[in-house]
Amino acid sequence: MKRTYEEINEKIKKGDVVVMTAEEVIKVVESQGLESATKEIDVVTTGTFGAMCSSGAFLNFGHAEPPIKMQRVWLNGVPAYTGLAAVDAYIGATELKENGDLEYGGAHVIEDLIAGKPIHLRATAYGTDCYPRRSIETYISLKTINQAYLYNPRNAYQNYAVATNSSDTTLFTYMGKLLPNYGNATFSSAGQLSPLLKDPLCRTIGIGTRIFIGGAKGFVAWEGTQYNTTVPMKNGVPLRPGRTLAVVGDMKEMSTEFIRALYFHRYGVSLAVGIGVPIPVLDQDVMKFASLSDKDLFAPVLDYSLQSRNRKPLKEVSYAELRSGSIELFGKKVKTSSLSSYYKARVIAEKLKKMIEEGEFLISRPVQSLPEERSFKPLDIRSKEEV
């Protein structure tokens, strides 16, 4: 059986569409079989909510009187990048205050803006004939500025490593606090709800795909940075960090329910981003992957005490094992915990399902597919001649 995007959207408009979350679909396939489920279900919704460091926002402040060509900008004391036009800036989620405070950064500015709070803006400039002002200090909010949109270069990682620590010292990492001597293991994925694990080859996800982001409708803008297809597979799904998405969405339509600033002790700041991607059930092959469960999806366990990009996996474990609360390493029972919220991922998948059922969200055909082959290149120390 095959469907088209147009057929699915027509059913959405008529209110006849059958939508299920990736979690619900698993049970339907188990009880009815793959062929029957494919005939019955038009769209599968996914969700993820976790730390996405490669995130940030473009902002346009409008022109002052007299005008200023902003050379340096601080928002609540956090530097924003201004190598753009006169009053445009990009604030990165992980940027920190210049005073050395690790607990407040760009992610907090983004959350505060979405929450409607006033943000202190300070800017300096070198002054030109057409932009004579050399400094400005004021307050802004989402209501006072022009465009404000998230543009996140790398979100929704397709799988990620499980972190543990074999050393005698506690480690503080972007994977949280890792206790010594394999005292715990942390992971960060929604597993059977995670978008890129349910469409592992990105057959339906590409440039122009309409998504749920931060409580608003947004789009996949490009392949994400560190996009990688050259990873080992199991059950047709990558066993390592693989594909990623660059995404965009209007901050003025977002909610702090799905965008939250995070602080990792002795590491720094990140941004929790809620993303939901609809998967149109074009054929039985799409449904086969969309119905994979946590027991079918695996992640590598890495020892983060080895300070090298070339860590080898200690083993591979299923998300079912990870969510059970413990895994076994070298005959030892190791407690597990998730840095992403499965509860919020479920909320996002349900919310997206409801939006589609109520005709508020149409499925978009990608205007271009994401790369089928892309390798991840390391950064080596090279001479000019070697380059």
- pLDDT by residue for the chain (387 residues), tens only, comes to 899 999 999 999 999 999 999 999 999 999 999 999 999 999 999 999 999 999 999 999 999 999 999 999 999 999 999 999 999 999 999 999 988 889 999 999 999 999 999 999 999 999 999 999 999 999 999 999 999 999 999 999 999 999 999 999 999 999 999 999 999 999 999 999 999 999 999 999 999 999 999 999 999 999 999 999 999 999 999 999 999 999 999 999 999 999 999 999 999 999 999 999 999 999 999 999 999 999 999 999 999 999 999 999 999 999 999 999 999 999 999 999 999 999 999 999 999 999 999 999 999 999 999 999 999 999 999 999 999
What does the block give as tokens for 201?
């080859």
For residue 378, being part of any structural domain is answered with no
The domain boundary, picked from 116, 145, 174, lies at 145
User: Do residue 193 and residue 67 come from a single domain?
Assistant: no
For residue 382, being part of any structural domain is answered with no
User: Do residue 106 and residue 33 come from a single domain?
Assistant: no
Q: Please answer whether residues 187 and 299 qualify as being in contact, where contact means their C-beta atoms are separated by less than 8 angstroms.
A: yes
User: Do residue 298 and residue 359 come from a single domain?
Assistant: yes
User: Do residue 95 and residue 26 come from a single domain?
Assistant: no
Which residues are known catalytic residues? 130
* Residue 91, domain extent: 62-145
Q: What is the pLDDT of residue 97?
A: 95
Query: 74: which strand partners?
Result: 79, 122
User: Do residue 122 and residue 268 come from a single domain?
Assistant: no
User: Do residue 89 and residue 199 come from a single domain?
Assistant: no
The domain boundary, picked from 95, 120, 145, lies at 145
Q: What is the pLDDT of residue 100?
A: 80
For residue 140, being part of any structural domain is answered with yes
Q: What is the pLDDT of residue 245?
A: 98
User: Do residue 238 and residue 310 come from a single domain?
Assistant: yes
Q: How many domains does the chain have?
A: 2
User: Do residue 281 and residue 214 come from a single domain?
Assistant: yes
User: Do residue 127 and residue 167 come from a single domain?
Assistant: no
For residue 377, being part of any structural domain is answered with no
For residue 74, being part of any structural domain is answered with yes
For residue 285, being part of any structural domain is answered with yes
User: Do residue 35 and residue 113 come from a single domain?
Assistant: no
User: Do residue 182 and residue 317 come from a single domain?
Assistant: yes
pTM of the predicted protein model: 0.97
User: Do residue 77 and residue 217 come from a single domain?
Assistant: no
The domain boundary, picked from 126, 145, 164, lies at 145
For residue 363, being part of any structural domain is answered with yes
Q: What is the pLDDT of residue 99?
A: 85
For residue 29, being part of any structural domain is answered with yes
